[in-house]
Amino acid sequence: MNIAVFASGRGSNFSAIARAVKKGKIKASLSLLICDTSGAGVLSRAKRAGVKTILVKSDDFTTKRDFENKIIQHLEENKIELVIMAGFMRILSPEFVARFKERILNIHPALLPAFKGAHAIKDAFDYGQKVTGVTVHFVDEKMDHGPIILQAPVVIEENDTLESLEEKTHKLEHKLYPQAISLFVEGRLKIEGRRVRITPGPSPLPPHDLK
């Protein structure tokens, strides 16, 4: 199975996925990185990992449709079967999502449906939550909404700062996302309405550190 990662920023989740592929924890080919930001850190990470990289900037296109059609062209040329959103700071159109229905995954740094949006960690911290977490879900036409694959909690302790909470959350992301991708690649995810059923496999999912 050929996988493409979409990213706009530092690319720490990209690196976690690349390591999991290299170690055989994800039995697929990380074939492509799509990035929309010149100078993004993920570009150098992909280069070091030997992953083909394509920069597609929305400013180079008159319409969003043209921008997305160019991305689709690259996906089809590289025979991509699964799209992984890893900090790609653009909302995909319903048309794009429909074209790759149930083949786009996203990770969100909160326990959805709580704290949707781009500042979920800060929002949970400022709100005074005792527990937040990480969610991996299928992408649908609504933001941070599709069927949930995996969730795991992060405890917010009294001595946590926003920075320490961000660090703990990202650390959990780097564990949870490769697990969810592996489940998809192994064909163990069955969407049943708004729920996702995980079918039995050769080994159970590892436990998560709650801190």
- Of the residues 74, 108, 119, 170, only one is catalytic, namely 108
Q: Based on the residue annotation, tell me whether 137 is a catalytic residue of this protein.
A: no
Q: 66: Cβ–Cβ under 8 A, 6 or more apart, which residues?
A: none
Question: Which residue has 């653009």 as its token pair?
Answer: 90
CA distances for 73 relative to 28, 56, 67, 81, angstroms:
21, 11, 10, 13
Residue 42's nearest CA partner among 12, 85, 80, 82 is: 12
CA gap 74, 78 in Å, rounded: 6
Measured from the Cβ of residue 143, the count of other Cβ atoms closer than 10 Å reads 14
Provide DSSP, 75-117.
HHHTT--EEEESS--SPPPHHHHHHTTT-EEEEESS-TTSS-S
Nearest one of 97, 62, 86, 61 to 176, comparing CA atoms: 86
Q: What whole-number distance in Å separates Cα of residue 31 and Cα of residue 24?
A: 15
**206 upstream amide cis, omega within 30 of 0:** no
**How far is CA 20 from its chain centroid?**
14
Residues annotated catalytic, as ranges:
108
